[in-house]
Amino acid sequence: MIEHIERVAAAVPEEARAVAFLHDVVEHTDTSYEELISNGLSPVEFTALELLTRDESESFEAYALRIAHAHGLAGRLARAVKMADLDDHLDHDRIPSAAPPYAWARRHIVFAETRLGGTAA
């Protein structure tokens, strides 16, 4: 897990690096948003991190589309991190058959980033 997070953080622009290092924290640990904010998480980083945190009741597709179509700097940061995250998952030689549709999500995020004036590719 740590290696995955380091690869994702290394693949994003510097402005998204903090969010990349934290992108799985709320979803996979007991760390709260309040704890992250008290340790210096900015409002924009908080919003990006919220976008990147999937609720158990949310389908992967709805989650990916929520990130794809998010506006503002937080949306751009979330898309940069999610693209790096998806690319890291897709780089594995063997993706489990039960894995989410990573390639589908990547296509939607690239399309939305292009439409919104970003640079994801």
User: Where does the pLDDT of residue 107 fall: very low under 50, low under 70, confident under 90, or very high at 90 and above?
Assistant: very high
With CA atoms as reference, report the closest residue to 77 among 117, 115, 32, 47: 47
| Domain at 54, CATH number | 1.10.3210.10
Chain centroid to Cα 2, Å, comes to 15
Whether residue 91 lies inside any domain: the answer is yes
For the chain, how many structural domains are there in total?
Answer: 1
| Parent domain of 62 | 2-115
pLDDT digits (tens, 9 = 90+) for 2-11: 899 999 999 9
Which residues are within 8 A (CB) of 29 and not within 5 positions of it... i.e. 6 or more apart? Answer: none
Whether residue 121 lies inside any domain: the answer is no
Helix (H) or strand (E) run with residue 5 in it: helix 2-10
Mean pLDDT of 102-110: 92
User: Where does the pLDDT of residue 108 fall: very low under 50, low under 70, confident under 90, or very high at 90 and above?
Assistant: very high
Mean pLDDT of 87-110: 84
pLDDT digits (tens, 9 = 90+) for 73-95: 999 999 999 999 999 989 876 66
Whether residue 109 lies inside any domain: the answer is yes
